[in-house]
Amino acid sequence: MIVTIARQVIKREKLPLYHELAKELTDLSRKEKGCIAYYSVQSKEDDKLNLFIEFWENQEAIDYHIGTEHFTKIVPQFTEMFEEKEIVSQYFTAGQ
């Protein structure tokens, strides 16, 4: 299993649109083959800080995901909403 965490700091004035698009992306991504779990979470301490936490069966599922219509439509819109550079990290579950 591969876990992807994307850390995003969003411009305050863009938060409503960001959350609308994040919900759409999350809802559609959860339906994809190979998606184990897909969350968009907001920090309790700083409402501008958001994480996407994604659990995928394998790299093939991730490759499919980044080519989907919803990903290629929504993710480019996020870029202009960022207050800081996005940080994306990938992890493997321990012992695998």
CATH number of the domain enclosing 6 = 3.30.70.100
Query: What is the spatial distance between Cα 6 and Cα 52, in angstroms, rounded to a whole number?
Result: 5
Strand-by-strand arrangement of the 87-92 sheet: 35-42, 49-56, 2-9, 87-92
Note the pLDDT of residue 94: 73
Count how many domains the chain has.
1
Domain that holds residue 28: 2-92
List the chain pLDDT tens, one digit each, 96 residues: 999 999 999 999 999 999 999 999 999 999 999 999 999 999 999 999 999 999 999 999 999 999 999 999 999 999 999 999 999 999 988 765
> Residue written as tokens 């819109």?
77
CB atoms within 10 A of CB 8: 22
Query: What is the spatial distance between Cα 62 and Cα 83, in angstroms, rounded to a whole number?
Result: 26
CA distances from 51 to 15, 33, 38, 95, 96 (A): 13, 22, 11, 24, 24
Query: What is the spatial distance between Cα 57 and Cα 34, in angstroms, rounded to a whole number?
Result: 5
